[in-house]
Amino acid sequence: MPGNRHLVAGLLLLSLGHMVLAAGSSEDASLSGKEDTHGIPARQLGVDAVVFVIQSQSNSFHAGQAEKLRDDLLRQVQATSQKPPVVLLLHTLSDNEGDWSILPLLPYLSISFGKNSSWMVFLEEETHVEVTRLVGALANFDEEKEWFLGKPLHDDESTIIHHYAFAENPSVFKYPDFSAGWALSIPLLVRLADKVRQQPPKSDFTIDLKHEVALYIWDKGKGPRLTAVPQLCTEPEGSPRARTCATALRRRPLPCGEPVKKEDVFVAVKTCKKFHHERVPVIKKTWEGDAAYVEYYSDYADASVPTVDLGVPNTERGHCGKTFAILQRFLSGDVPDTQWLLIVDDDTLISLPRLRRLLSCYSAGEAVYLGERYGYGLSQGGYSYITGGGGMVFSREAVARLLRSGCKCYSDDAPDDMVLGMCLNALDIPATHSPLFHQARPEDYAAELLAHQVPISFHKHWNVDPVAVFHKWLREDERKRSSGDKTEL
């Protein structure tokens, strides 16, 4: 299974920083030269000394969201008569598909902006920014020193997605919640860029970028740890709790329209004989009832499920042969003609109503390849892929282009999600990332991260009651559903 492969790869492969000045320090004092609450003169910092990098994606929906954020930042600055900052859309900076992993991009950022800027601030498309407050928060730090700033997350227990790092006490290591924004001072950026040139990241897999970036910066204690900035928040934009925040979460535009219809999504479940009576019943107790069309694909035709035998022998890992047979069946006319295909494992838990709301933001006429994005060899010109356990979503156009290309498995037990990533990358069909899909269990993610998500999927039944997990994290409120309330994602 993909999780085991990542575990093997991971296994192979606090001087605390100066504490942020108190959240109560006023932004006015920071910008006017008055002393802050520590009696230190606040530095003057112009917004033009800040470079904003929006961690954008090339899919038309996500590119549009990033452009709206850029326009909002520039509009705010225009109203203050200050010089405008540089605002970059990450997906437009080069042809390197792996730029989303940030580290390969640092040399370019250092060369382009290292001499005339003080801060590099990274934002996700959902990050709302109050520019004046953010500049005030940054002004509390000496930009001539190395700073790594953000809203800290930590693991309560060691987890596979972080390669079981800090197993004895995982909570000691802090990493940034990208949704709140995070920042590097230019001296740190320049040094990291030199390090990337001389010592590229060694890990083959990019699994949880925010944790891996923090590890690279920390450098086994030779670099700075993350410093918490209370003004970097994940409260909802406009809420009372966000009144003192420099960043908050933009009110999501979801649904972008009416949720796609049940009949527009075909669900393919990968299973095998030994799990027909262990895992399949969980699906039937939880999310199967929300599917208009679902088929279970196995190595054995079992009328009690029922399952479809695709004629591909079961393999202990990889399942590439089975997945490509599913793709061919999707276009064959033997199943309903739908706009979207969802492929899941038999131990994937998913909310189909939430997925259908999310899909309202995408055009089925585009080649869409959607889920939780991982990377392989991104520092060496590798590729991105959607990890299978959290669910892989394809538009019909993406499947058609893939199969027309002739790209195929090199063996039945090749890793299906990685082979798909290679094939689609070669076709310039990007892996579109949504943080709402999860390759692992809820326990494997920081509680504060999940607190501001409405998740779509989780994966694995290991050491959990999967039915209880579904009802806690993924079950829709029946009253809202019956009343037509469109819960925000």
Mean pLDDT value across residues 366-388: 95
> Looking at the predicted structure, is the pLDDT value of residue 332 above 60?
yes
pLDDT of residue 121 exceeding 50, the answer is yes
Q: For residue 301, is pLDDT > 80? A: yes
Question: What's 256's DSSP letter?
Answer: S
- Judge whether 423 lies within some domain: yes
Same domain, yes or no: 245 and 266: no
Q: Is residue 185 part of a domain?
A: yes
The mean pLDDT of the chain is 89
Percent share of the chain, pLDDT over 90: 81
Lowest mean pLDDT among 47-61, 151-165, 247-261, 417-431: 247-261
For residue 29, the domain's CATH number is 3.90.550
Q: What is the sign of the dihedral through the CA atoms of 9, 10, 11 and 12?
A: positive
Give residue 82's identity as a one-letter amino acid code. Q
- The Cα–Cα gap between 23 and 3 comes to 40
205-237 confidence digits (pLDDT tens) = 999 999 999 999 999 999 999 999 999 999 999
Task: Kindly state whether residues 421 and 299 are assigned to the same domain.
Answer: yes
CB 270 within 8 A of CB 345: yes
Q: Do both 58 and 206 map to the same domain?
A: yes
- φ, ψ of residue 205 to 5 degrees: the values are -105, 140
| Phi, psi (deg, nearest 5) at residue 61 | -65, -50
* Residue that terminates a domain, selected from 249, 275, 307: 249
What would the pLDDT profile of 269-299 be if each residue is shown by its tens digit? 999 999 999 999 999 999 999 999 999 999 9
Would residue 39 count as lying in a domain? yes
Band the pLDDT of 18: cuts 50, 70, 90: very low
- Residue 342, pLDDT above cutoff 90: yes
Question: Which position has the token pair 């990358």?
Answer: 425
Is 375 inside a domain boundary? yes
Q: Does residue 149 sit in helix, strand or coil? A: strand
Determine the Cα–Cα distance for residues 379 and 377; give it in Å rounded to an integer: 6
Read off the pLDDT of each residue in 76-85 and give the average, rounded to a whole number: 93
Q: Which residue has the higher pLDDT, 465 or 14?
A: 465
DSSP 170: G
Tokens at residue 115, please? Answer: 């001499």
Domain identity same for 337 and 268? yes
**pLDDT tens string 137-191:** 999 999 999 999 999 999 999 999 999 999 999 999 999 999 999 999 999 999 9
State the pairing for strand pair 152-153/232-236.
unpaired
CB of 405 within 8 A of CB of 426? yes
> How many separate domains does the chain show?
2
Residues 149 and 203 in one domain: yes
The predicted pLDDT at position 191 comes to 98
For 329-433, where are the E strands, in sequence order?
340-345, 348-350, 369-371, 373-376, 383-386, 392-395, 432-433
In the predicted structure, residue 376 carries a pLDDT above the cut 90: yes
Domain that residue 406 falls in: 262-483
Encoded amino acid at 60, one letter: S
- Residues 369 and 227 grouped into a single domain: no
Any domain includes 140: yes
Question: Above 70 in pLDDT, residue 415?
Answer: yes
Per-residue model confidence (pLDDT) at position 17: 34
Which domain-ending residue is among 249, 273, 299? Answer: 249
The pLDDT assigned to 210 comes to 98
In this model, does residue 380 exceed pLDDT 90? no
CA atoms within 13 A on the CB side of 84: 12
Note the pLDDT of residue 203. Answer: 77
Domain co-membership, 240 together with 272: no
Evaluate whether residue 285 is within a structural domain: yes
Greatest pairwise CA separation for the chain in angstroms? 76
Residue 465's SS3 state is coil
Question: Is 254 inside any structural domain?
Answer: no
Confidence of residue 200 (pLDDT cuts 50, 70, 90): confident
Q: What's the rounded mean pLDDT across residues 467-488?
A: 67
241 and 270 fall within a common domain: no
Q: What CATH number should be reported for the domain holding residue 366?
A: 3.90.550.50
The secondary element (H helix, E strand) that includes residue 89 is strand 86-89
CA dist., res. 269 & res. 296, Å (int): 5
Tell me, what's the pLDDT at 33? 40
DSSP 324-351: HHHHHHHTTTSS---SEEEEEETTEEE-
How many CB atoms within 10 Å of residue 274? Answer: 12
**What are 433-451's pLDDT values in tens digits?**
999 999 999 999 999 999 9
Quote the pLDDT of residue 25: 34
Q: Are residues 306 and 447 in the same domain?
A: yes
The pLDDT of residue 489 = 61
Triad 374, 326, 404: Cα angle to 5°:
80
Residues 285 and 414 in one domain: yes
Whether residues 176 and 300 share a domain: the answer is no
How far is CA 296 from each of CA 309, 362, 393, 462, rounded to the nearest angstrom? Answer: 9, 26, 16, 21
The alpha carbons of the chain give a radius of gyration, in whole angstroms, of 23
Domain boundary among 192, 217, 249: 249
Q: Apex CA 231: angle with CA 225 and CA 170, to 5°?
A: 35
List, in order, residues 6 or more apart from 423 with CB less than 8 Å away: 402, 405, 407
pLDDT exceeds cutoff 60 at 38 = no
Greater confidence (201 vs 207) lies with: 207
Q: Tell me the pLDDT tens digit for each residue of 252-269.
A: 655 688 999 999 999 999
Q: Is residue 53 part of a domain?
A: yes
Q: For residues 54 and 88, is the Cβ–Cβ distance under 8 A?
A: yes
Please indicate, yes or no, whether residues 235 and 266 belong to a single structural domain of this protein: no
